[in-house]
């Protein structure tokens, strides 16, 4: 076979084994995985000796150029996708959120425009349902257009994004009908409002500053919301994906629900694995404000355990970048801090350094959580997410231990700070290939803006995928007693 590119002699992680071998690429696809592939005169040979070659990372939770908290998140599709590429990310999924009065189709069109001409890597969007009465009859049209994941927020009333139980329940019924999946930001809005109101005094703000962000969001705020929406998934049979899960309690609820056969999947983010709420006491603590906020070391430990055991299927970032100037909008009132952090550039380095090198997960498990599972769950597999013949040639080549010190001035993100500033992280991409094209070479971005493509999808979640063992067991799992009771009650009506 004549190859356009051969990646030579790396430690290649495939779904079946990890072995030193070559990868042959023809056009945009992986065409061969075998040792000793023969190059001809015009084959580009990329030396991967003494490096790991892993599937390109999918960051399936990203907000680029998002109008939010009275400002607009500062990484757009140009800087955000460059940042991702430097960290081995070759696919991202953003959230298309309808502005007031917009339909779901208008939201998708709007996000398409943000990406066009700027994206360096491939992308698609979760479609956010913010006004159930208006949007419910538009969902099927979006599925037909190639969007198979939808999103609802249980908080953010002031942004006009909040969904109530009626919307969550109704959307999950539709997910069941269409074989699609609902992503949910699970925090308990009313109790949270009450806790914020109780603490929103000049005295407490002066005394505790940004620490109030953590003090008003105890773990039960997330746990109660997860518990409730898991119930709606259980009785409707609609596929549910908990985004940015941050608590040990949430992890336990998901584990128990999965054991009952509830079609629920959980994601956590890099920051919840390696940072904790001590940061809010620092001078720059407000920079770390995000929703849900950072929790305790015991929560991080439980999330790592969940990744290892399988109840946590995906690591993402929830990238929502705000600069120091934007974060300064809080002026001492913690309810006014733009919520979110940069993350795309450091996802793989954090997971590799603190997961693989610290021996919390294996290299193969990391590839499952960063690439294969997200691709399967989000309806992008086998095109994305694995080093397999026929898949897109999306690869990250990383040195096993070469570390980079995190310095915002040397990064691609627009952020002028990093949650990991000063940390030594290994796992930055020496080379990133996207559909066979080198877009990062010698740790520098060389790919051109606008080459990234939108990715249409036809399924999501457990429907149509054959994800990790726990999930394939789940897809054949027993009918949960609650769902059986609901079906029984509907049948007998």
Residues of the shown chain interacting with ligand URP in the complex, contacts defined by CB under 6 A = 63, 185, 290-291, 318, 320, 339-340
What's the min distance (Å) between Cβ of 352 and Zn ion? Answer: 23
Alpha-carbon 391 to chain mean position: 21
Give the residue at shortest CB distance from Zn ion: 185
Angle in degrees, 0-180, between the axes of helices 297-309 and 248-259, rounded to the nearest 10 = 30
DSSP string, 164-221: -HHHHHHHHHHHHHHT-EEEEE---HHHHHHHHHHH-SHHHHHHHTTHHHHHT--HHH
What's the min distance (Å) between Cβ of 336 and ligand URP? Answer: 13
CB atoms within 10 A of CB 349: 25
Stretch that binds Zn ion, among 158-166, 252-260, 315-323, 366-374 (CB under 5 A): 315-323
Residue 452's binding partner out of ligand URP, Zn ion, none, with CB under 5 to 8 Å set by partner kind? none
Q: Does 151 bind Zn ion (CB under 5 A)?
A: no
Q: Does 94 bind Zn ion (CB under 5 A)?
A: no
What's the min distance (Å) between Cβ of 219 and Zn ion? Answer: 16
Q: Does 318 bind Zn ion (CB under 5 A)?
A: yes
Distance CA 82, CA 93 (A): 15
Q: Which is nearer to ligand URP, 209 or 340 (CB)?
A: 340
Q: Which is nearer to ligand URP, 248 or 339 (CB)?
A: 339
Residue 341 CB contacts under 8 Å (≥ 6 apart), including other chains: 271, 287, 288, 290, 318, 319, 320, 321, 322, 419
Block residue for tokens 């700027």: 118
Residue 229's binding partner out of ligand URP, Zn ion, none, with CB under 5 to 8 Å set by partner kind? none
Query: What SS3 state is found at 29?
Result: strand
Q: Does 185 bind Zn ion (CB under 5 A)?
A: yes
Burial (0-12, 13-18, 19+ Cβ within 10 Å), 203: exposed
Block residue for tokens 């994004």: 161
Residue 473 CB contacts under 8 Å (≥ 6 apart), including other chains: none
Q: Which is nearer to ligand URP, 273 or 290 (CB)?
A: 290
DSSP H helices, 33-164, are 77-86, 104-115, 132-135, 139-144
Stretch that binds Zn ion, among 40-48, 170-178, 313-321, 375-383 (CB under 5 A): 313-321
Q: Does 392 bind Zn ion (CB under 5 A)?
A: no
What's the min distance (Å) between Cβ of 68 and Zn ion? Answer: 9
- C-alpha closest to that of 54 among 275, 484, 464, 356: 356
Q: Which is nearer to ligand URP, 290 or 393 (CB)?
A: 290
What is the gyration radius of the CA atoms in the chain, in angstroms?
Answer: 22
- C-alpha closest to that of 420 among 322, 279, 217: 279
Query: x/- site string to Zn ion, residues 199 to 238, per CB under 5 A?
Result: ----------------------------------------
What's the min distance (Å) between Cβ of 177 and ligand URP? Answer: 26
Q: Which is nearer to ligand URP, 318 or 412 (CB)?
A: 318
Distance CA 160, CA 130 (A): 7
Residue 383's binding partner out of ligand URP, Zn ion, none, with CB under 5 to 8 Å set by partner kind? none
Which structure tokens are listed for 162?
């909040």
Stretch that binds Zn ion, among 191-199, 213-221, 314-322, 349-357 (CB under 5 A): 314-322
What's the min distance (Å) between Cβ of 95 and Zn ion? Answer: 7
What does the binding site for Zn ion look like in residue numbers (CB under 5 A)? Answer: 185, 318
């Amino acid at each position: 076979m004549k190859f356009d590119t051969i990646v030579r002699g790396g430690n290649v992680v495939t779904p079946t084994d990890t072995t030193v071998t070559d990868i042959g690429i023809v056009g945009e696809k992986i065409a061969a995985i075998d040792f000793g592939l023969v190059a001809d005169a015009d084959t580009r040979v990329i030396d991967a000796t003494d490096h790991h070659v892993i599937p390109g990372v999918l960051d399936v939770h990203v907000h680029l150029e998002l109008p939010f908290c009275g400002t607009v998140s500062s990484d757009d599709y140009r800087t955000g996708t460059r940042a991702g590429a430097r960290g081995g990310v070759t696919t991202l999924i953003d959230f298309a959120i309808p502005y007031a009065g917009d339909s779901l189709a208008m939201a998708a069109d709007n996000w398409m425009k943000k990406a066009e001409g700027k994206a360096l890597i491939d992308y698609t969007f979760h479609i956010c349902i913010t006004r159930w009465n208006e949007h419910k009859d538009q969902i099927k049209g979006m599925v037909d257009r190639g969007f198979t994941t939808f999103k609802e927020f249980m908080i953010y009333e002031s942004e006009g994004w909040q969904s109530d139980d009626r919307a969550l329940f109704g959307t999950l019924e539709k997910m069941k009908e269409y074989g699609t999946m609902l992503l949910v930001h699970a925090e308990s809005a009313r109790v949270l409002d009450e806790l914020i109101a109780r603490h929103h005094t000049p005295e407490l703000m002066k005394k505790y500053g940004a620490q109030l962000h953590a003090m008003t969001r105890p773990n039960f705020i997330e746990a109660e919301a997860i518990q409730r929406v898991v119930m709606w998934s259980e009785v409707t049979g609609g596929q549910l994906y908990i985004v940015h899960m941050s608590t040990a309690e949430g992890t336990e609820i998901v584990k128990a629900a999965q054991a009952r056969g509830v079609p629920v999947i959980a994601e956590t983010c890099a920051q919840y694995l390696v940072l904790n709420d001590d940061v809010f006491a620092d001078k720059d603590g407000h920079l770390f404000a995000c929703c849900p906020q950072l929790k305790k070391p015991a929560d991080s430990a439980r999330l790592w355990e969940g990744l290892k055991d399988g109840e946590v299927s995906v690591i993402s970032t929830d990238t929502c970048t705000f600069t120091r100037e934007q974060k300064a909008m809080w002026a001492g009132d913690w309810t006014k801090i733009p919520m979110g952090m940069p993350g795309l550039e450091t996802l793989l380095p954090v997971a590799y350094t603190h997961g693989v090198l610290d021996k919390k997960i294996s290299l193969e498990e990391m590839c499952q959580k960063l690439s294969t599972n997200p691709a399967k769950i989000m309806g992008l597999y086998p095109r994305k997410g694995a080093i397999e013949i026929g898949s897109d040639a999306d690869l990250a080549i990383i040195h096993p231990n070469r570390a980079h010190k995190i310095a915002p001035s040397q990064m691609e993100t627009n952020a002028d700070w990093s949650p990991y500033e000063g940390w030594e992280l290994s796992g930055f991409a020496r080379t990133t290939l996207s559909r066979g094209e080198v877009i990062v070479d010698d740790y520098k971005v060389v790919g051109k803006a606008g080459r990234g493509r939108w990715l249409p999808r036809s399924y999501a979640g457990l429907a149509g995928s054959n994800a990790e063992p726990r999930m394939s067991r789940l897809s054949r799992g027993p009918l949960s007693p609650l769902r059986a009771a609901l079906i029984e009650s509907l049948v007998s009506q």
